[in-house]
Structure 1
Amino acid sequence: MGVGDHAKNTFLELKQKKVHRYVIFRVDEGKKEVVVEKTGGPAENYDDFTAALPLDDCRYAVYDYDFVTSDNCQKSKIFFIAWSPSSSPIRAKMLYATSKDKFRRELDGVHYEIQATDPTEMDLEVIRDRAH
């Protein structure tokens, strides 16, 4: 499974230029590569992000989480989320599971990785706890 230049460049835009709050990727079986499905602007929040994920299909996503530390420093952590809901087709789960590590390695600069099979496993509280 390859990773298209557009997918890599979109991740770099999120990481370096902060033009995206999140990027959702999907596996395009026809092209045999991971492609960008949707991006969220800097003003979008975590609820916008989770609402953009399908309830019954797998996706990869990166989310740029901004927060303020206890000593009042503005920080940002990038989360890689492997979304694999239990209701998604078995074929999709297998496809995403087998291509995840290769894709994840292409995203240099991710701080944390989360594997989620239902929304509670990637709740904002989980993100917040990991980042602090």
Structure 2
Amino acid sequence: MAMVQKLECLTLQANAASGVAVYDECKLKFSELKSKRNYRFIVFKIEQQQVIVEKVGSPDESYEDFTNALPPNECRYAVYDFDFTTDENCQKSKIFFIAWAPDTSKVREKMVYASSKDRFKRELDGVQVELQATDPSEMSLDIVKGRAL
């Protein structure tokens, strides 16, 4: 019996160290974005110690629609399916993971998002480029284009 309690305690410690839980809907929506291209973007929020889907953008939404979906004073995670044309005139797509942590957000919130980011990103198999932004200029369309090529 003591061994079971010890294992439960270790499990709780491991979960606490790695951040928050990931809601299954997050993985499902990401899979749909990646394989079916049902969405242009997904915005994720940490709420009550778990990551949830806050908003999805339809395939015809723009990059501006995506950036407008991010709150100006709160942290978020997001994925964006970026379509582009290479110098060889080939149509391509890359999935960006964006950790949005504006300077104006609360310190504790920034700490929670920062400590949970790597674990959450690992749950999203297929992310190709990661961006961290504290200001809209750090994730401008020009920067995204530059990182995609």
Q: For this structure pair, what is the TM-score category when the shorter chain's length is used for normalisation?
A: over 0.9
**Post-superposition offset of 1:47:** 0.2
- Provide the residue aligned with 2:76 in structure 1: 59
Deviations 1:22-45 (A, max 9, x none): 00000012xx21000000000001
1 CA distance for matches of 2:45 and 2:35? Answer: 22
Q: Report the counterpart of residue 33 of structure 2 in structure 1.
A: 14
| Structure 1, unpaired ranges of 5+ | none
Query: Pairwise mapping of residues 3-82 of structure 1 onto structure 2 (< 5 A)?
Result: 3-29=22-48, 32-82=49-99
Cα RMSD (Å)? 0.6
5+ residue gaps, structure 2, are 1-19
Moved over 6 A (4+): none
Report the Cα offset of residue 98 of structure 1: 0.7
Greater per-residue helix proportion: 2
- What's the offset of the Cα at 1:72? 1.7
Matched, 1:95 2:112: yes
1:121 matched to which residue of 2? 138
TM-score, normalising length: structure 2 = 0.86
Normalising by the residue count of structure 1, what TM-score does the alignment of the two structures yield?
0.97
| 2-structure distance, mates of 1:20, 1:12 | 10
